Structure 1
């Protein structure tokens, strides 16, 4: 797996640029405290956590990108595999940008049903998958094989799922029952500049929020009776932004910056500061979640190839 990754765009000049881009703000000491590595994952088995959805008891449902798996990580740190998605016949070599099959975005419905994205570069497997409690994975919506479905968000009020395609620069929408997705937004702000564009997604305060990894931006797209409003750029200079989470009802954000091995705290006015970094144990952080004042940061070690892990910390609410 690591040899395969080293020959893909993950080690290309695009990511080199992300790795060497300096943070645009100083460290905000004291905003996030007590960072510590709670769980170490097995890199040799492809346990590279890509995305997370939290259950009410603090259990983390995660996608392991390199293993094509969905797993549960208990509050005690025990990891249990829930499902392994089928391997593509060609091994996934035609998966756009990355050239290996990977499970990406995940959300959890109130009844425990999981919705998961899978990218393989093949028409028979790429798309949105559903895993009911105790059930087996089933694909409920096909997505273009030449795209890379990545971030996933659920609007519980309308039962609509939003899907970020990082290669095609599109946000798709589809109901939780599945069916044919609609291109909800193809705004130019979603496009990549050579590697991956729109990535993390959240539905928050009447809008779909998105990060663009290549452009280092946070975008807000108002929900206009289900349609996409005009894109608003809410933050910039966030090189390598992957997943993010809101810290409460307001618009303050914690964001994982994959290449620089950092977590940024983004204020509603768009300014940001770095609150966690490589010295805290981050290894290409991919996803963030919050439960109360507990911050969960998952690292996939795509580039460092050292220690995929779960970091826990405390957030001081201001």
Structure 2
């Protein structure tokens, strides 16, 4: 197996760093799947059966140089596991530089398998500064790859484009001080509501006239388009996902499967990220 990639476009380097920072907030462990056309970041908190997050990056957009060989010609992929927080910290130097010359990523073997990151930064002299980080990884054997496959699109009762994430994040940050849970509701008339309820206070924020996706597995409109479909989720996990506004997504879709799942779909020209929030039955808490 081998892998080597190089980025030189500052916008791509920043997007990559922002995505890694978001993933580090969402989970302690992350799986990276490398293919000839895409790089995948996968979070699976349930042992692989129910992915918590699935992100795809188009390697042709991010990498100016890209070379990989998988475990075999028939299985030309690489699966590895790492701690995303270590990766995010290693990329901190990118935040302080607006003119990073390049970012190289390669699979290496030091004392153990590593992903080595070589960050070329400008210097006051004619020479560049090279910052090198070795991130320990665990290679995932072929027999376990089936645990990290793309999740199927869940069924849902309501699907809606969310308002700007920065605006929604400010709302959630305020509500987070009131409750550990938030209820997300949407209907087929473009209404989205986020609310919290405690013994002492009920607070709801309404967004109206939002667009609704045309794609999906639910094509029939209900008889009463104003009926709300709701799911209650962990507000801290929701707030962590909303940090994705730093990736500057073009659209974010919220699919609500009442009482079971909230499926959040972040769309960018060259990045897609799916995040699954299990619904909470507050009556059992």
Short-chain TM bin: under 0.3
TM norm structure 1: 0.23
Q: Which has the higher strand share?
A: 1
Q: Which has the higher helix share?
A: 2
Larger Cα-atom Rg: 2
